[in-house]
Amino acid sequence: MDPKQVSAQEKREHADPHEQAMSIPIPILILVALMVIFGIFYILAGDSSTPPEYGDQRTMKDLMAKAASTSDSVDGAAIYTARCVACHQATGAGLPGVFPPLAGSDWVAGKPEVIAKIVLHGVQGTLTVNGTAFNGAMPPFKEQMNDVEIAAVATYVRKSWGNAAPPVGAAVVAAARTETASRTEPWKGDAELAAMK
């Protein structure tokens, strides 16, 4: 561009900045290099034979006690989320007119063997919950879950959303499964279940 054609405003502008040969400041490069060297040293100096569980200061005795206490337990909340939440919702409120609520339900708070039988075989037809009729369908879970899993999810439901019913044991579910082993279809709502309540 001809210098004679440069305007007064353009002459006041500063040149665009550029990185030149060193785009990253030298102190930053030194810091990064020191961190890399420290990381390599830390990894090489560590005792790789130490179990990673010891990082939180637990001893083998602590870990064995925890394993013994939880080896037979099943997460009822996880089962509920995987199997039940689509219909009964995360809040246990259900869907009005279709899927009954579990929160505050008279069926949930009732006999443990009844809730076990319902989960085992499902329900089809009109079911009255807390005075409100629901006409939906609940699938049977006797083939999808074992006794411990059914007991865990039933216990979770009986302890959640303000419910305070006693837990359901796997033995109760096993007994209900044996008692109703010949059943091949879901319970017919109030017509069959009301007498068990």
Q: Which two tokens stand for residue 95?
A: 């869907």
Q: Which superfamily does CATH assign the domain made up of 76-193 to?
A: Cytochrome c-like domain (1.10.760.10)
Residues 3-60 pLDDT 10s: 567 777 777 787 776 666 667 788 999 999 999 999 999 888 876 666 665 566 666 6
Residues 68-121 pLDDT 10s: 444 357 788 889 988 898 889 999 998 887 899 999 988 888 889 999 999 999
Contact by Cβ (8 Å): 101, 129: yes
pLDDT at position 21 is 65
pLDDT at position 70 is 42
Q: Which amino acid is at 175?
A: A
In whole angstroms, give the CA distance from residue 108 to residue 155: 9
Distances (CA, A) of 83 to 28, 74, 111, 157: 53, 14, 22, 12
